[in-house]
Amino acid sequence: MVLSPRRIRILAAAGACFWIIGIVLWRQAALDMAIQLAHNTLRTVSLIAEIAKGLSAFGLTLSALLFLICLARSCRPCGSRDFRRIMLPVLLSFAIAGPVADLSKEVFSRPRPFVENPEGIVPITRPPAYSLPSGHTTKIFALILPFVVLLPPGKGRKAFKIALVVLAGAVAWSRIILGVHFLGDILAGIGTAFLVLPLAAAAANAVYSARGMTEKKELVLAAACGLALLALIVTFFRYSL
């Protein structure tokens, strides 16, 4: 889980770039609005609208469930230790990114697309909070980025990582299709996840580097992470209903 200074710089630069592009799109409001308005046709297709609603409602639940399955398999006698150790930075990343996104919404106070253009955009849902950054995007990328970036290569892992990125991207896009976010909000959410990752990795390393971290204690920590994932799954599911 150790990130080299070079990888930290890359992650920070990527996060900053996503945020800068998101802010630029916000300031170039006509372009951001045009991209949002281009999705009006998709909102009128019932199948696409239902898929977008499903991704938005259950994307986080699905990703957390996949991680819980990976963690459970890793706790078997022949299980991979990598999967046990990766869950702590995953959870720390989520725990940090969520409040950062919520605070950023209040700081920037960007109205939702359907508030800025009530005649041109008829959303499928109407969340009350501000728009920038996208909370769903921030949270799902905060969950999957530690797994994608920090988990060492292994059999079948590349395909699984690609599937997670596709899932996160689909959830992010669903927020545009639903009419509740601009593209700039999505990019800012991704940028937040990139910026938070080094902090989560550093905190996880501090825990695992602590004196007395035996394999037995590592299993106890993995069990605690499993309970946290289960709590997240229940919370996500109840929130989605």
Cα–Cα distance between 43 and 46 in angstroms, integer?
7
For residue 156, pLDDT over 90 is answered with: no
- Higher per-residue confidence, 209 vs 39: 39
> Which pTM was predicted?
0.92
3-state secondary structure of 134: coil
pLDDT > 70 fraction of the chain, expressed in percent and rounded: 96
Spatial separation of the C-alpha atoms in residues 76 and 206, rounded to whole Å? 25
Per CATH, the number for 5-240 is 1.20.144
Higher local confidence (pLDDT), 111 or 73: 111
Q: Helix (H, G, I), strand (E, B), or coil: what is residue 137? A: helix
User: pLDDT tens digit string along 24-42?
Assistant: 999 988 999 999 999 999 9
Residue-range domain boundaries for the chain? 5-240
Closest CA to 175 of 55, 86, 18, 71: 55
Instruction: Report whether pLDDT(45) > 80.
Output: yes
Look at residue 1 in the predicted model and tell me its pLDDT: 62
214 or 55, higher pLDDT = 55
pLDDT higher than threshold 80 for residue 122: yes
Q: How far apart are CA 29 and CA 24, in angstroms?
A: 9
| CA 104 – CA 112 distance, rounded (Å) | 14
The pLDDT, as a whole number, for residue 29 is 84
Q: Does pLDDT of 79 surpass 70?
A: no
Other Cβ atoms less than 10 A from the Cβ of 156: the count is 7
